[in-house]
Amino acid sequence: MLNLIKMNISRLFRTKALYTTTIIEFILFFLITMVGGEGSVVEMAGEFLGSGLVLMLVGIFATVYSDEERKSGFLKNLGSSKGRKRLIFVSKIPVIFLYNVILLIAGTAATYIGMMGRGAAIGNLASFAGFLLFETLIGTAFGTAFLAIYEVARGNVMPIILTIIAAGNLHGTLLSLAEVKIAQMIPALAPAMEAQILSGNLIVSRAQEISVTIPFDHFAVLVVAIVGTVVYAVLGMTVFEKRDTF
Amino acid sequence: MNCYLETKNLNKRYGSFEAVKNMNVHIYKGDIYGLIGPNGAGKTTLMKMIIGFAGPTSGEIVLNSEKKGEGVIGNLIESPGIYGHLTAFENMMLKAKAQGVYNKDELLDILEFVGLSNVPKKKAGKFSLGMKQRLGIALALIGDPEILILDEPTNGLDPQGIIEVRELIHKLRAERNMTIMISSHILSELQKVANVFGIISNGELVMEVTSDELMEKYNGDSGALEEFYLDVVRGGKKVC
Protein backbone atom coordinates (compact mmCIF):
# COMPACT_ATOMS: atom_id res chain seq x y z
CA MET A 1 0.00 0.00 0.00
CA LEU A 2 2.72 2.41 1.04
CA ASN A 3 4.67 1.56 -2.13
CA LEU A 4 1.67 2.35 -4.30
CA ILE A 5 1.13 5.64 -2.45
CA LYS A 6 4.81 6.56 -2.98
CA MET A 7 4.48 5.76 -6.67
CA ASN A 8 1.30 7.81 -6.96
CA ILE A 9 2.87 10.81 -5.25
CA SER A 10 5.88 10.61 -7.59
CA ARG A 11 3.46 10.38 -10.48
CA LEU A 12 1.36 13.32 -9.24
CA PHE A 13 4.30 15.68 -9.63
CA ARG A 14 4.88 14.35 -13.15
CA THR A 15 1.25 14.85 -14.18
CA LYS A 16 0.58 17.77 -16.49
CA ALA A 17 -2.98 18.16 -15.19
CA LEU A 18 -1.60 19.16 -11.77
CA TYR A 19 0.28 22.11 -13.23
CA THR A 20 -2.32 23.23 -15.76
CA THR A 21 -5.22 23.22 -13.29
CA THR A 22 -3.18 24.90 -10.55
CA ILE A 23 -1.98 27.61 -12.92
CA ILE A 24 -5.51 28.21 -14.23
CA GLU A 25 -6.82 28.51 -10.67
CA PHE A 26 -3.96 30.80 -9.66
CA ILE A 27 -4.42 33.17 -12.62
CA LEU A 28 -8.18 33.26 -12.18
CA PHE A 29 -8.05 34.07 -8.46
CA PHE A 30 -5.22 36.54 -8.95
CA LEU A 31 -7.06 38.46 -11.69
CA ILE A 32 -10.34 38.57 -9.75
CA THR A 33 -8.71 39.86 -6.58
CA MET A 34 -6.63 42.37 -8.53
CA VAL A 35 -9.69 43.84 -10.22
CA GLY A 36 -11.71 44.15 -7.04
CA GLY A 37 -12.89 42.53 -3.88
CA GLU A 38 -13.46 43.76 -0.38
CA GLY A 39 -12.68 42.47 3.05
CA SER A 40 -9.63 40.77 4.48
CA VAL A 41 -7.37 38.41 2.53
CA VAL A 42 -8.70 35.32 4.29
CA GLU A 43 -12.31 36.36 3.72
CA MET A 44 -11.66 36.79 0.00
CA ALA A 45 -9.71 33.54 -0.23
CA GLY A 46 -12.46 31.75 1.67
CA GLU A 47 -15.07 33.10 -0.71
CA PHE A 48 -13.16 31.93 -3.80
CA LEU A 49 -12.04 28.59 -2.46
CA GLY A 50 -15.55 27.74 -1.32
CA SER A 51 -17.13 28.81 -4.61
CA GLY A 52 -17.24 25.34 -6.16
CA LEU A 53 -14.41 25.91 -8.63
CA VAL A 54 -11.96 23.98 -6.47
CA LEU A 55 -14.39 21.07 -6.18
CA MET A 56 -14.86 21.07 -9.93
CA LEU A 57 -11.11 20.99 -10.52
CA VAL A 58 -10.74 18.16 -8.00
CA GLY A 59 -13.44 16.09 -9.73
CA ILE A 60 -11.92 16.69 -13.16
CA PHE A 61 -8.43 15.93 -11.88
CA ALA A 62 -9.56 12.65 -10.27
CA THR A 63 -11.11 11.62 -13.59
CA VAL A 64 -8.13 12.64 -15.71
CA TYR A 65 -5.66 11.01 -13.31
CA SER A 66 -7.48 7.67 -13.42
CA ASP A 67 -8.07 7.89 -17.15
CA GLU A 68 -4.41 8.56 -17.90
CA GLU A 69 -3.42 5.44 -15.97
CA ARG A 70 -5.90 3.27 -17.85
CA LYS A 71 -5.54 4.75 -21.36
CA SER A 72 -1.73 4.63 -21.27
CA GLY A 73 -1.91 1.00 -20.16
CA PHE A 74 0.37 1.72 -17.20
CA LEU A 75 -2.23 0.01 -15.04
CA LYS A 76 -0.92 -3.24 -16.53
CA ASN A 77 2.32 -2.69 -14.63
CA LEU A 78 0.73 -2.32 -11.22
CA GLY A 79 -0.44 -5.83 -10.47
CA SER A 80 -3.59 -7.81 -10.83
CA SER A 81 -4.48 -9.89 -7.78
CA LYS A 82 -7.76 -9.03 -6.09
CA GLY A 83 -6.18 -7.58 -2.97
CA ARG A 84 -3.72 -5.63 -5.07
CA LYS A 85 -6.52 -4.15 -7.18
CA ARG A 86 -8.21 -2.79 -4.05
CA LEU A 87 -4.95 -1.15 -3.01
CA ILE A 88 -4.38 0.33 -6.46
CA PHE A 89 -7.69 2.16 -6.11
CA VAL A 90 -7.26 3.26 -2.49
CA SER A 91 -3.69 4.49 -3.06
CA LYS A 92 -5.06 7.27 -5.26
CA ILE A 93 -7.01 8.85 -2.39
CA PRO A 94 -3.89 10.40 -0.73
CA VAL A 95 -3.09 11.95 -4.13
CA ILE A 96 -6.52 13.57 -4.19
CA PHE A 97 -5.93 14.85 -0.65
CA LEU A 98 -2.57 16.30 -1.66
CA TYR A 99 -4.02 17.82 -4.80
CA ASN A 100 -6.68 19.55 -2.68
CA VAL A 101 -3.99 20.97 -0.41
CA ILE A 102 -2.03 22.26 -3.42
CA LEU A 103 -5.11 23.94 -4.90
CA LEU A 104 -6.01 25.58 -1.60
CA ILE A 105 -2.46 26.86 -1.08
CA ALA A 106 -2.25 28.14 -4.67
CA GLY A 107 -5.66 29.82 -4.38
CA THR A 108 -4.72 31.47 -1.09
CA ALA A 109 -1.38 32.64 -2.49
CA ALA A 110 -3.07 34.06 -5.59
CA THR A 111 -5.57 35.96 -3.46
CA TYR A 112 -2.83 37.31 -1.20
CA ILE A 113 -0.68 38.45 -4.12
CA GLY A 114 -3.69 39.91 -5.90
CA MET A 115 -4.58 42.01 -2.84
CA MET A 116 -1.04 43.13 -2.11
CA GLY A 117 -0.58 46.88 -2.08
CA ARG A 118 -4.24 47.52 -1.33
CA GLY A 119 -3.65 47.63 2.40
CA ALA A 120 -6.12 44.81 3.04
CA ALA A 121 -5.92 43.11 6.42
CA ILE A 122 -4.90 39.46 6.56
CA GLY A 123 -7.89 38.51 8.73
CA ASN A 124 -8.51 35.74 11.21
CA LEU A 125 -5.88 33.09 10.47
CA ALA A 126 -7.16 30.58 13.03
CA SER A 127 -10.59 30.63 11.47
CA PHE A 128 -9.00 30.34 8.01
CA ALA A 129 -6.92 27.32 9.06
CA GLY A 130 -10.11 25.56 10.17
CA PHE A 131 -11.74 26.49 6.89
CA LEU A 132 -8.82 25.01 4.90
CA LEU A 133 -8.86 21.80 6.93
CA PHE A 134 -12.57 21.18 6.36
CA GLU A 135 -12.34 22.19 2.70
CA THR A 136 -9.54 19.66 2.23
CA LEU A 137 -11.50 16.87 3.88
CA ILE A 138 -14.69 17.53 1.96
CA GLY A 139 -12.71 17.98 -1.28
CA THR A 140 -11.05 14.60 -0.71
CA ALA A 141 -14.48 12.99 -0.32
CA PHE A 142 -15.64 14.66 -3.53
CA GLY A 143 -12.50 13.54 -5.42
CA THR A 144 -12.88 9.99 -4.09
CA ALA A 145 -16.44 10.00 -5.43
CA PHE A 146 -15.09 10.79 -8.88
CA LEU A 147 -12.37 8.15 -8.65
CA ALA A 148 -15.21 5.70 -8.05
CA ILE A 149 -17.49 7.16 -10.72
CA TYR A 150 -14.62 6.86 -13.20
CA GLU A 151 -14.28 3.15 -12.41
CA VAL A 152 -17.98 2.68 -13.02
CA ALA A 153 -17.96 4.66 -16.29
CA ARG A 154 -14.44 3.69 -17.48
CA GLY A 155 -14.42 6.77 -19.65
CA ASN A 156 -13.85 10.44 -18.94
CA VAL A 157 -16.79 12.18 -20.63
CA MET A 158 -19.57 11.16 -18.23
CA PRO A 159 -17.55 11.77 -15.03
CA ILE A 160 -16.49 15.23 -16.24
CA ILE A 161 -20.09 16.18 -17.07
CA LEU A 162 -21.16 14.88 -13.66
CA THR A 163 -18.36 16.86 -11.98
CA ILE A 164 -19.62 20.09 -13.49
CA ILE A 165 -23.20 19.31 -12.46
CA ALA A 166 -22.17 18.18 -8.97
CA ALA A 167 -19.78 21.05 -8.24
CA GLY A 168 -22.68 23.46 -8.82
CA ASN A 169 -24.83 21.25 -6.56
CA LEU A 170 -27.49 20.91 -9.23
CA HIS A 171 -28.20 17.40 -7.98
CA GLY A 172 -28.71 18.85 -4.48
CA THR A 173 -31.16 21.42 -5.82
CA LEU A 174 -33.10 18.71 -7.63
CA LEU A 175 -33.18 16.53 -4.55
CA SER A 176 -34.24 19.45 -2.40
CA LEU A 177 -37.14 20.24 -4.77
CA ALA A 178 -38.17 16.58 -4.69
CA GLU A 179 -38.08 16.64 -0.89
CA VAL A 180 -40.30 19.72 -0.75
CA LYS A 181 -42.73 18.09 -3.16
CA ILE A 182 -42.86 14.88 -1.11
CA ALA A 183 -43.40 16.86 2.10
CA GLN A 184 -46.29 18.72 0.42
CA MET A 185 -47.84 15.49 -0.83
CA ILE A 186 -47.42 13.58 2.44
CA PRO A 187 -47.52 16.19 5.25
CA ALA A 188 -47.00 13.50 7.90
CA LEU A 189 -43.49 12.96 6.57
CA ALA A 190 -42.56 16.64 6.68
CA PRO A 191 -41.20 16.80 10.27
CA ALA A 192 -39.03 13.70 9.78
CA MET A 193 -37.74 14.98 6.46
CA GLU A 194 -36.87 18.35 7.94
CA ALA A 195 -34.93 16.65 10.72
CA GLN A 196 -32.99 14.34 8.39
CA ILE A 197 -32.92 16.27 5.17
CA LEU A 198 -30.93 14.31 2.59
CA SER A 199 -30.17 17.17 0.21
CA GLY A 200 -28.44 19.01 3.07
CA ASN A 201 -26.13 16.11 3.74
CA LEU A 202 -24.65 15.73 0.30
CA ILE A 203 -20.90 16.32 0.05
CA VAL A 204 -21.39 19.49 -1.99
CA SER A 205 -24.19 20.81 0.26
CA ARG A 206 -21.88 20.53 3.25
CA ALA A 207 -19.01 22.02 1.27
CA GLN A 208 -21.15 25.08 0.57
CA GLU A 209 -21.66 25.59 4.31
CA ILE A 210 -17.95 25.83 5.07
CA SER A 211 -17.06 29.45 5.62
CA VAL A 212 -14.38 31.66 7.14
CA THR A 213 -16.82 34.24 8.47
CA ILE A 214 -20.07 32.38 9.16
CA PRO A 215 -20.08 29.66 11.85
CA PHE A 216 -20.90 26.22 10.49
CA ASP A 217 -21.59 22.77 11.92
CA HIS A 218 -18.05 21.32 12.02
CA PHE A 219 -19.22 17.93 13.23
CA ALA A 220 -21.77 17.52 10.44
CA VAL A 221 -19.18 18.46 7.80
CA LEU A 222 -16.67 16.04 9.29
CA VAL A 223 -19.19 13.19 9.34
CA VAL A 224 -20.22 13.80 5.71
CA ALA A 225 -16.55 14.02 4.62
CA ILE A 226 -15.58 10.79 6.37
CA VAL A 227 -18.71 8.85 5.43
CA GLY A 228 -18.47 10.13 1.84
CA THR A 229 -14.81 9.12 1.50
CA VAL A 230 -15.42 5.67 2.98
CA VAL A 231 -18.59 4.94 0.99
CA TYR A 232 -17.06 5.99 -2.34
CA ALA A 233 -13.77 4.23 -1.55
CA VAL A 234 -15.64 0.98 -0.91
CA LEU A 235 -17.73 1.46 -4.06
CA GLY A 236 -14.64 2.19 -6.18
CA MET A 237 -12.65 -0.71 -4.72
CA THR A 238 -15.51 -3.13 -5.25
CA VAL A 239 -16.12 -2.11 -8.85
CA PHE A 240 -12.39 -2.08 -9.64
CA GLU A 241 -11.86 -5.49 -8.08
CA LYS A 242 -14.90 -7.20 -9.57
CA ARG A 243 -14.41 -6.08 -13.15
CA ASP A 244 -11.70 -7.37 -15.46
CA THR A 245 -8.79 -4.94 -15.48
CA PHE A 246 -8.71 -4.97 -19.28
CA MET B 1 8.46 -33.22 -13.82
CA ASN B 2 5.83 -30.82 -12.46
CA CYS B 3 4.45 -28.08 -14.65
CA TYR B 4 5.59 -24.61 -13.71
CA LEU B 5 2.37 -23.13 -15.01
CA GLU B 6 -0.72 -25.12 -15.77
CA THR B 7 -4.30 -24.28 -16.60
CA LYS B 8 -7.01 -26.77 -15.73
CA ASN B 9 -10.23 -26.71 -17.73
CA LEU B 10 -10.02 -22.96 -18.05
CA ASN B 11 -13.07 -21.19 -19.43
CA LYS B 12 -13.89 -17.58 -20.16
CA ARG B 13 -17.28 -16.46 -21.33
CA TYR B 14 -18.32 -12.93 -22.38
CA GLY B 15 -22.12 -13.05 -22.44
CA SER B 16 -22.96 -15.91 -24.77
CA PHE B 17 -19.51 -15.85 -26.43
CA GLU B 18 -17.07 -18.50 -25.23
CA ALA B 19 -13.64 -16.93 -25.65
CA VAL B 20 -11.75 -19.79 -23.99
CA LYS B 21 -13.07 -23.34 -23.69
CA ASN B 22 -11.73 -26.00 -21.32
CA MET B 23 -8.15 -25.03 -21.90
CA ASN B 24 -5.34 -27.12 -20.41
CA VAL B 25 -1.97 -25.52 -21.02
CA HIS B 26 1.30 -26.96 -19.67
CA ILE B 27 4.43 -24.87 -19.30
CA TYR B 28 7.64 -26.17 -17.70
CA LYS B 29 10.36 -24.13 -16.04
CA GLY B 30 12.65 -22.56 -18.63
CA ASP B 31 10.24 -23.16 -21.53
CA ILE B 32 9.65 -20.62 -24.21
CA TYR B 33 6.07 -21.44 -25.01
CA GLY B 34 4.84 -20.15 -28.36
CA LEU B 35 1.12 -19.55 -28.57
CA ILE B 36 -0.30 -19.66 -32.07
CA GLY B 37 -3.76 -19.08 -33.43
CA PRO B 38 -5.82 -16.86 -35.69
CA ASN B 39 -7.17 -13.48 -34.54
CA GLY B 40 -9.92 -13.93 -31.98
CA ALA B 41 -8.85 -17.48 -31.16
CA GLY B 42 -8.47 -16.67 -27.45
CA LYS B 43 -4.71 -16.14 -27.12
CA THR B 44 -4.89 -12.72 -25.48
CA THR B 45 -7.81 -13.77 -23.27
CA LEU B 46 -5.81 -16.77 -22.06
CA MET B 47 -2.81 -14.57 -21.32
CA LYS B 48 -4.95 -11.98 -19.53
CA MET B 49 -6.37 -14.72 -17.32
CA ILE B 50 -2.91 -16.07 -16.48
CA ILE B 51 -1.75 -12.59 -15.48
CA GLY B 52 -4.95 -11.86 -13.58
CA PHE B 53 -6.31 -9.03 -15.72
CA ALA B 54 -9.39 -11.11 -16.48
CA GLY B 55 -11.04 -13.59 -14.17
CA PRO B 56 -11.88 -17.06 -15.51
CA THR B 57 -15.54 -18.02 -15.71
CA SER B 58 -14.49 -21.46 -14.48
CA GLY B 59 -11.35 -23.57 -14.21
CA GLU B 60 -8.05 -23.06 -12.49
CA ILE B 61 -4.60 -21.60 -13.08
CA VAL B 62 -1.81 -23.29 -11.12
CA LEU B 63 1.51 -21.49 -10.82
CA ASN B 64 4.24 -23.45 -9.03
CA SER B 65 6.35 -20.45 -8.19
CA GLU B 66 9.04 -20.15 -5.56
CA LYS B 67 8.24 -16.46 -5.20
CA LYS B 68 5.05 -15.23 -3.61
CA GLY B 69 2.88 -12.21 -4.25
CA GLU B 70 3.03 -9.66 -7.05
CA GLY B 71 5.98 -9.58 -9.40
CA VAL B 72 6.13 -13.31 -10.20
CA ILE B 73 4.71 -12.67 -13.66
CA GLY B 74 6.00 -9.92 -15.94
CA ASN B 75 3.78 -8.98 -18.83
CA LEU B 76 3.61 -7.19 -22.11
CA ILE B 77 0.01 -7.51 -23.24
CA GLU B 78 -1.18 -5.94 -26.50
CA SER B 79 0.89 -2.75 -26.18
CA PRO B 80 3.44 -1.55 -23.64
CA GLY B 81 1.89 0.31 -20.70
CA ILE B 82 3.92 3.50 -20.67
CA TYR B 83 3.37 7.18 -19.98
CA GLY B 84 4.40 8.93 -23.19
CA HIS B 85 5.32 12.20 -21.46
CA LEU B 86 7.87 10.46 -19.23
CA THR B 87 11.31 9.08 -20.06
CA ALA B 88 12.05 5.36 -20.07
CA PHE B 89 13.72 5.65 -16.69
CA GLU B 90 10.82 7.60 -15.15
CA ASN B 91 8.38 4.94 -16.35
CA MET B 92 10.61 2.26 -14.85
CA MET B 93 10.99 4.19 -11.62
CA LEU B 94 7.21 4.45 -11.15
CA LYS B 95 6.71 0.73 -11.62
CA ALA B 96 9.62 -0.13 -9.34
CA LYS B 97 8.28 2.19 -6.63
CA ALA B 98 4.85 0.60 -6.90
CA GLN B 99 6.42 -2.82 -6.38
CA GLY B 100 8.68 -1.59 -3.59
CA VAL B 101 11.83 -2.64 -5.46
CA TYR B 102 13.18 0.76 -6.50
CA ASN B 103 16.92 0.64 -7.03
CA LYS B 104 18.35 3.11 -9.51
CA ASP B 105 21.32 0.95 -10.50
CA GLU B 106 19.16 -2.10 -11.13
CA LEU B 107 16.82 -0.08 -13.32
CA LEU B 108 19.76 1.28 -15.30
CA ASP B 109 21.03 -2.30 -15.71
CA ILE B 110 17.67 -3.39 -17.13
CA LEU B 111 17.66 -0.42 -19.52
CA GLU B 112 21.17 -1.42 -20.59
CA PHE B 113 20.00 -5.02 -21.00
CA VAL B 114 17.19 -4.02 -23.39
CA GLY B 115 19.38 -1.49 -25.18
CA LEU B 116 17.67 1.68 -24.04
CA SER B 117 20.43 3.21 -21.95
CA ASN B 118 21.42 5.60 -24.73
CA VAL B 119 18.21 7.67 -24.63
CA PRO B 120 18.05 9.01 -21.07
CA LYS B 121 16.25 12.27 -21.89
CA LYS B 122 13.95 11.16 -24.69
CA LYS B 123 10.25 10.93 -23.83
CA ALA B 124 8.81 7.45 -24.31
CA GLY B 125 6.08 8.90 -26.53
CA LYS B 126 8.78 9.81 -29.06
CA PHE B 127 10.22 6.29 -29.16
CA SER B 128 10.01 4.09 -32.26
CA LEU B 129 7.69 1.08 -32.01
CA GLY B 130 10.66 -1.21 -31.43
CA MET B 131 11.96 0.97 -28.62
CA LYS B 132 8.52 1.05 -27.03
CA GLN B 133 8.33 -2.74 -27.16
CA ARG B 134 11.77 -2.99 -25.59
CA LEU B 135 10.69 -0.55 -22.88
CA GLY B 136 7.60 -2.72 -22.36
CA ILE B 137 9.87 -5.74 -21.86
CA ALA B 138 12.11 -3.70 -19.54
CA LEU B 139 9.07 -2.81 -17.44
CA ALA B 140 8.07 -6.47 -17.38
CA LEU B 141 11.51 -7.39 -16.05
CA ILE B 142 11.31 -5.14 -12.98
CA GLY B 143 11.18 -7.15 -9.77
CA ASP B 144 12.94 -10.11 -11.40
CA PRO B 145 9.83 -12.09 -12.42
CA GLU B 146 10.04 -15.84 -12.99
CA ILE B 147 7.82 -15.87 -16.03
CA LEU B 148 7.17 -13.40 -18.82
CA ILE B 149 3.91 -13.27 -20.76
CA LEU B 150 4.45 -11.51 -24.07
CA ASP B 151 1.48 -10.96 -26.34
CA GLU B 152 2.62 -10.33 -29.89
CA PRO B 153 5.73 -8.39 -28.89
CA THR B 154 6.80 -8.08 -32.54
CA ASN B 155 3.47 -6.65 -33.67
CA GLY B 156 4.00 -3.65 -35.95
CA LEU B 157 7.78 -3.84 -35.81
CA ASP B 158 10.05 -3.48 -38.81
CA PRO B 159 12.52 -6.33 -39.58
CA GLN B 160 15.22 -4.71 -37.44
CA GLY B 161 12.79 -4.38 -34.52
CA ILE B 162 11.76 -8.02 -34.89
CA ILE B 163 15.38 -9.14 -34.77
CA GLU B 164 15.99 -6.97 -31.68
CA VAL B 165 13.05 -8.52 -29.81
CA ARG B 166 14.12 -12.03 -30.86
CA GLU B 167 17.66 -11.44 -29.61
CA LEU B 168 16.28 -10.07 -26.38
CA ILE B 169 14.19 -13.20 -25.82
CA HIS B 170 17.22 -15.42 -26.49
CA LYS B 171 19.20 -13.31 -24.04
CA LEU B 172 16.51 -13.64 -21.38
CA ARG B 173 16.56 -17.40 -21.66
CA ALA B 174 20.33 -17.69 -21.85
CA GLU B 175 21.20 -15.24 -19.08
CA ARG B 176 18.21 -15.45 -16.77
CA ASN B 177 16.75 -18.89 -17.53
CA MET B 178 13.41 -17.20 -17.76
CA THR B 179 10.17 -19.01 -18.58
CA ILE B 180 8.37 -17.17 -21.34
CA MET B 181 4.97 -17.46 -22.96
CA ILE B 182 4.85 -15.63 -26.24
CA SER B 183 2.20 -15.24 -28.91
CA SER B 184 2.89 -14.18 -32.46
CA HIS B 185 1.47 -14.39 -35.96
CA ILE B 186 4.94 -14.54 -37.45
CA LEU B 187 5.38 -18.30 -37.32
CA SER B 188 8.90 -18.38 -38.79
CA GLU B 189 9.96 -15.96 -36.05
CA LEU B 190 8.24 -17.94 -33.32
CA GLN B 191 9.93 -21.12 -34.53
CA LYS B 192 13.28 -19.42 -33.96
CA VAL B 193 12.61 -18.61 -30.30
CA ALA B 194 10.18 -21.12 -28.80
CA ASN B 195 10.80 -24.73 -27.78
CA VAL B 196 7.13 -25.64 -27.21
CA PHE B 197 4.08 -24.56 -29.16
CA GLY B 198 0.42 -24.47 -28.28
CA ILE B 199 -2.09 -24.07 -31.07
CA ILE B 200 -5.38 -22.39 -30.27
CA SER B 201 -8.42 -22.26 -32.47
CA ASN B 202 -11.93 -21.03 -31.59
CA GLY B 203 -11.04 -20.77 -27.92
CA GLU B 204 -9.72 -24.34 -27.71
CA LEU B 205 -6.19 -25.60 -27.32
CA VAL B 206 -5.97 -27.89 -30.30
CA MET B 207 -2.50 -29.25 -29.59
CA GLU B 208 0.78 -28.80 -27.75
CA VAL B 209 3.97 -29.86 -29.49
CA THR B 210 7.70 -29.46 -28.83
CA SER B 211 10.12 -28.08 -31.40
CA ASP B 212 11.97 -31.43 -31.37
CA GLU B 213 8.78 -33.26 -32.31
CA LEU B 214 8.19 -30.74 -35.06
CA MET B 215 11.69 -31.07 -36.46
CA GLU B 216 11.39 -34.82 -36.44
CA LYS B 217 8.04 -34.74 -38.19
CA TYR B 218 9.12 -32.27 -40.89
CA ASN B 219 12.71 -33.41 -41.28
CA GLY B 220 14.23 -30.24 -39.85
CA ASP B 221 12.41 -27.94 -42.28
CA SER B 222 12.74 -24.24 -41.33
CA GLY B 223 9.06 -23.79 -42.28
CA ALA B 224 7.95 -26.71 -40.11
CA LEU B 225 5.82 -24.64 -37.75
CA GLU B 226 3.93 -23.01 -40.59
CA GLU B 227 3.22 -26.36 -42.24
CA PHE B 228 2.21 -27.86 -38.94
CA TYR B 229 -0.09 -24.94 -38.15
CA LEU B 230 -1.80 -25.20 -41.52
CA ASP B 231 -2.17 -28.95 -41.12
CA VAL B 232 -3.72 -28.61 -37.69
CA VAL B 233 -5.92 -25.53 -37.96
CA ARG B 234 -7.00 -25.58 -41.59
CA GLY B 235 -6.94 -29.28 -42.20
CA GLY B 236 -8.11 -30.24 -38.75
CA LYS B 237 -5.44 -32.92 -38.89
CA LYS B 238 -3.78 -34.08 -35.67
CA VAL B 239 -0.19 -34.80 -36.59
CA CYS B 240 1.40 -35.49 -33.22
The three-state DSSP-derived secondary structure of B129-144 is: HHHHHHHHHHHHHCCC
B230 in the same domain as B202: yes
Q: Higher pLDDT residue, A197 or B43?
A: B43
Task: Determine, yes or no, domain membership for B164.
Answer: no
Structural domains counted in chain A: 1
B53 in the same domain as B74: no
**A84: contact with B, CB 8 A cutoff:** yes
B73 in the same domain as B53: no
Task: Determine, yes or no, domain membership for B114.
Answer: yes
Task: Determine, yes or no, domain membership for B235.
Answer: yes
Per-residue model confidence (pLDDT) at position A196:
67
| β pairing state of B32-36 and B179-183 | parallel
B56 in the same domain as B78: no
Task: Give the model's confidence band at B235: pLDDT under 50 very low, under 70 low, under 90 confident, else very high.
Answer: low
pLDDT of residue B4 exceeding 50? yes
What DSSP state is assigned to residue B123?
B
- Residue A93 in contact with residue A147, Cβ under 8 Å? yes
Task: Determine, yes or no, domain membership for B162.
Answer: no
Residue-wise pLDDT tens digits, B168-193: 888 888 888 889 999 988 888 888 88
Structural domains counted in chain B: 2
Chain A contact set for B53 (CB, 8 A): 76, 80, 244-246
Task: Determine, yes or no, domain membership for B122.
Answer: yes
Domain CATH for B194: 3.40.50.300
Residue-wise pLDDT tens digits, B194-215: 999 999 988 999 888 888 888 8
Chain A contact set for B48 (CB, 8 A): 244-246
B84 in the same domain as B27: no
B84 in the same domain as B53: no
Task: Determine, yes or no, domain membership for B160.
Answer: no
Q: Higher pLDDT residue, B223 or B114?
A: B114
Asked if the Cβ–Cβ distance from A14 to B86 is below 8 Å, we say yes
Q: State the ipTM, two decimals.
A: 0.86
B78 in the same domain as B60: no
What DSSP state is assigned to residue B200?
E
Domain that holds residue B36: 1-66+149-155+181-240
**B223: contact with A, CB 8 A cutoff:** no
Chain A contact set for B71 (CB, 8 A): 79
**Which among A3, A76, A244 is the nearest to B81, CB-wise?**
A76
pLDDT of residue A91 exceeding 90? yes
Rounded Cα–Cα distance for residues A153 and A239 (Å): 10
User: Which positions 163-192 of A are in contact with B (Cβ < 8 Å)?
Assistant: none
Task: Determine, yes or no, domain membership for B175.
Answer: no
Per-residue model confidence (pLDDT) at position B26:
93
Rounded Cα–Cα distance for residues B46 and B7 (Å): 9
Asked if the Cβ–Cβ distance from B80 to A73 is below 8 Å, we say yes
Chain A contact set for B75 (CB, 8 A): 76
Per-residue model confidence (pLDDT) at position B240:
39
B77 in the same domain as B138: yes
Cα dihedral sign, B55-A243-B132-B161 = positive
Asked if the Cβ–Cβ distance from B98 to A77 is below 8 Å, we say yes
Q: Rounded mean pLDDT of A33-48? A: 84
Domain that holds residue A153: 2-242
B222 in the same domain as B199: yes
Task: Determine, yes or no, domain membership for B202.
Answer: yes
